[in-house]
Structure 1
Amino acid sequence: MLAIIYVFNYIDRLVISILIEPIKLEFGISDTQIGLLSGVAFAIFYTLFGLPFGRLADRIGRKPVIALACIAWSAMTMLCGVATSFAMLLLFRIGVAVGEAGGTAPSVAMVSDLYPPEKRSRALSVFLMGPSLGAVLGLGLGGWIAQEYGWRTAFIVIGAPGVLLGMLLWLTVRSPAVPVRPQPAAGAPKEDWQTTLREMLATPAFVLVVTAGTLAAVMGYAIGTWNPSFLIRSHGLTVQQAGLLVGLGGGICSTIGTLVCGSVTDRLVARDPGWQLLIPVVGCVVSVPLGLAFYLWPADVAFHIGSLPVPEAFLFYLAFSFTAIWWSVPCFGAISHLFPPNRLAQATAIFVMSMTLLGVGLGPIIVGTLSDVFNPELGQEALRYALAASVLLYLVSAACLLAAVGRYRRKLRASAMPPAAAAASA
């Protein structure tokens, strides 16, 4: 149930990327403004509400927070379809961001409550299929609806199922008990969110994992936002054709990659916990040449599927989609191993907030701004080179993960020791 809700979380988040061109045409806005609409504004409000919702989920339980959040973001997605101006559309997208802030972190915490560490990466891989399947449905279905009935109808149809899913979760799913919160010693001050945040940021492995995931997210959200427009501008596809290729082709490969990554991670971690962070290193490094090939390959058609032209470059994107997602499951899994249950939703919220603030916030607008800067000289091809430059961020992400491996191993060993032994070891 959580996995299905997460799929719709990403459908509602990603559908705007396939609607960029008709929205630009109706409101007469620039690529930079599109980056603001799909990136910065969303990210700021998602971040503001992420930690409070994480703390609330650690206190009252995961299920009610997730259910109400799902209903809220879905209703706001539907309202995007009735916006009559850019400012109104921006306001409703902010509402989507506030709702989605209560979804991911409590859900990851709930999955971690339900599964032991040795099975957690596989369980998280099922849950974290959300972005990939969300791309399949959000881009594929959203592109078709927009082509046939207009972009407004796409928002309304895509948003409606989430309202029902939130109600279904609330009424039918039995959630695990709220984690027991350690009671402070008599006279000790209560732990506030600032204290919790300071202690988490004092864990070097956590900081490096958050940094690596954030950098990967910058690239991931830039790709998710601009890939359809890249195929439209540089390869001459229609909105519907771009949505089908990116949504179905890329989404299915990402889904398979997520599941394979979760299974392989659990198997290798049983031998050495360091593989929890080495697997995403492999994924990031392999993804760079594949991504560069996708964006820089000439605009030639490899073959047709019926009337749908498949560019040669898109074949590289299929392989890229399989490996570029390998950072997600292991990083979420690593965080679930670093902290106790009563802090897990908050730790996950910090991770998701950082990814969203910089990933959603900077990824789309960096690429949109670069595209506007390159446009006078490169014209329609400006977006191609803006996206190619962004791919290199995966190498920086891999470097952060490599730096975290030793610290992560030491933290797990210290957590497994009795307190006295851990203190002596430190």
Structure 2
Amino acid sequence: MRPTISGRGRSVRSGDNASGSSRTETSARTTWHTHYALLMLALIYVFNYIDRLVISILIEPIKLEFGVSDTAIGLLSGVAFALFYTAFGLPFGRLADRIGPKPVIALACIAWSVMTMTCGLATSFAILLLCRIGVAVGEAGGTAPSVAMVSALYPPQRRSLALSVFLMGPSLGAVIGLGVGGWVAEIWGWRTAFIAIGAPGVLLGLVFALTVRAPASTTTVKGQARGADENWRTTLRSLLATPAFPWIVATGGIAATTGYALGTWNPSFLIRSHGLTMQHAGLLIGVGGGLVSTVGTLVCGAVTDRMVRRDPGWQIGVPLIATALSIPFGIAYFLWPTGIAFQLGYLPVPQAFLFYLGFGFFGTWWSVPCFGAISHLFPAHRLAQATAIFVMAMTLLGVGFGPLIVGALSDALSARIGTEALRYALAASVALLGLAVACLAIALPRYRNRLGAAEAHAPEAVTNPA
């Protein structure tokens, strides 16, 4: 018989790794303070991705000024960023679990925004690389503590929708980072684009620190300091031993490899293969693709919450089906021949871009349910660390290897195919999503069984709350 979870969204805990939320979460009322905190977290995450993605629309002028190869750009936007992000991700997650996520998020937002601005002052490729490393260190303190804070703000039965609002960051970040960044760079240059994109984040971090209330459950957990004496190796082993979690982590890493490869090289693909200008490519991908992805993310959260009320397994089933649907759209986008479908004013829309809209809608559906699944697997005092591991995998594989693999494959194929090499390198990266679908299929029964075991311990958790 399939295990089920109470329709009231009861959260239970059996040991340190069992289903994840304290009773404080489920009983907490949502007020305008709750929604305001979610809005601020979502805005910060938007600027997280604006600062991260803006470099993708600036690749061509940076290459021209510093005379570097596609592989070097992959190193700049990928490996260097990922290594430092990963190195600092778990320590910031542990810090957020101990002192609360709010101060970590505020300081991180200010730090990465300042470092983004310094990218515009770089006088050499090496200095630009160091500035991007600074952005990576700052952003390492943003995502995991933010997911933990959102999970503490909302009860389990409303969590996927709340997370979908927060996780609009990549999509809206693409709208602003690529659309506005490309426009600014076209008129005032790539250096001004970095400075203009980074500056608002400093103010946003200060406003967040001064006006947002930390959720009560994070304060309670901080006071309990549960597991404070446990070293990070013990915590890491315990987290990775949780059924389904390693497969969810693998899903995030593989899907992010494709996502970051496309996020980095997509503008260059439209410029090289479809003859668009930098501004046109930024508008199409940022505004068109970004808005479709935003809608897809919100629909994903609403659908997941509705389906999970029927069967908890849909927390994994929804991303499995949607990711499988996204693959043919993505491959068709990159392999479709050159040709303009229609004009939007002065903006040419390639025929291939119509397939990208389908990919943009379904291609983000793995993230919200996976973050939500992690919030159901772990208690509040370990949630930021568990989320940090997931984000670290996404960053190390996605940011670290996605852009680099595509850049290196494009360089390798260019001798035979020329400027069309990037087209086939990106199509190959979409095919990797088949591995993410396989990981979700393996995770599904393990996740369902884990929550069933937690439900069996529910009377004990209610009688003897931690």
State the TM-score, normalized to the length of structure 1.
0.96
Instruction: Select the residue among 50, 57, 61 that pairs with 2:89.
Output: 50
CA distance in 1, matches of 2:390, 2:344: 40
- Does residue 180 in structure 1 map to residue 201 in structure 2? no
Letter in 1 for 2:221: V
1:416, CA displacement in angstroms?
2.5
Letter in 2 for 1:360: V
Which residue pairs with 1:202 in the alignment? 241
Q: How does 1:8-27 map to 2 (within 5 A)?
A: 8-27=47-66
Count how many residue pairs are aligned between Structure 1 and Structure 2.
Answer: 420
1:191, CA displacement in angstroms?
1.1
CA distance in 2, matches of 1:166, 1:132: 20
Change (3 A) 1:184 1:171: closer
Which residue pairs with 2:127 in the alignment? 88
Secondary structure of the residue aligned to 2:178 is helix
Letter in 2 for 1:40: V
Secondary structure of the residue aligned to 1:180 is helix
1:181, CA displacement in angstroms?
6.0
C-alpha contact 1:179 1:342 (8 A) present in aligned 2: no
Which residue pairs with 2:24 in the alignment? none
Q: How does 1:277-292 map to 2 (within 5 A)?
A: 277-292=316-331
CA distance in 1, matches of 2:105, 2:223: 24
- Does residue 362 in structure 1 map to residue 362 in structure 2? no
Letter in 2 for 1:147: E
Letter in 1 for 2:232: W
CA distance in 1, matches of 2:66, 2:114: 22
Instruction: Select the residue among 422, 432, 435 that pairs with 1:393.
Output: 432
Which residue pairs with 2:273 in the alignment? 234
1:307, CA displacement in angstroms?
1.5
Instruction: Select the residue among 382, 395, 398 that pairs with 1:343.
Output: 382
Which residue pairs with 2:451 in the alignment? 412
1:203, CA displacement in angstroms?
1.3
C-alpha contact 1:179 1:341 (8 A) present in aligned 2: no
Which residue pairs with 1:403 in the alignment? 442
Which residue pairs with 2:146 in the alignment? 107
Which residue pairs with 2:229 in the alignment? 190
CA distance in 2, matches of 1:179, 1:237: 54
Q: How does 1:165-314 map to 2 (within 5 A)?
A: 165-177=204-216, 178-180=219-221, 190-314=229-353
CA distance in 2, matches of 1:383, 1:278: 33
Change (3 A) 1:421 1:167: closer
* Aligned residues with identical type, % of pairs: 72
Output one character per residue of 1:254-276: Cα deviation in whole Å (capped at 9) or x when no partner: 00000000000000000000000
Letter in 2 for 1:73: W
C-alpha contact 2:243 2:450 (8 A) present in aligned 1: no
Unaligned runs of 5+ in 1: none
Instruction: Select the residue among 389, 392, 398 that pairs with 1:353.
Output: 392
The two structures, once aligned, show a CA RMSD in angstroms of: 1.6
CA distance in 1, matches of 2:41, 2:345: 36
CA distance in 2, matches of 1:78, 1:282: 40
CA distance in 2, matches of 1:83, 1:275: 47
Letter in 2 for 1:180: V
C-alpha contact 1:15 1:139 (8 A) present in aligned 2: yes
1:183, CA displacement in angstroms?
6.6
Letter in 1 for 2:212: V
Which residue pairs with 2:71 in the alignment? 32
C-alpha contact 1:78 1:158 (8 A) present in aligned 2: yes
Output one character per residue of 1:76-123: Cα deviation in whole Å (capped at 9) or x when no partner: 000000000000000000000000000000000000001011000000
Letter in 2 for 1:335: I
CA distance in 1, matches of 2:412, 2:149: 44
CA distance in 1, matches of 2:41, 2:257: 25
C-alpha contact 2:181 2:197 (8 A) present in aligned 1: yes
CA distance in 2, matches of 1:249, 1:316: 12
- Does residue 127 in structure 1 map to residue 183 in structure 2? no
Q: How does 1:149-164 map to 2 (within 5 A)?
A: 149-164=188-203
Which residue pairs with 2:365 in the alignment? 326
Which residue pairs with 1:143 in the alignment? 182
C-alpha contact 2:164 2:298 (8 A) present in aligned 1: yes
Letter in 1 for 2:109: C
After TM superposition, the structure 1 stretch with the greater mean CA deviation from structure 2, 306-315 or 412-421, is 412-421
State the TM-score, normalized to the length of structure 2.
0.88
Unaligned runs of 5+ in 2: 1-39, 462-466
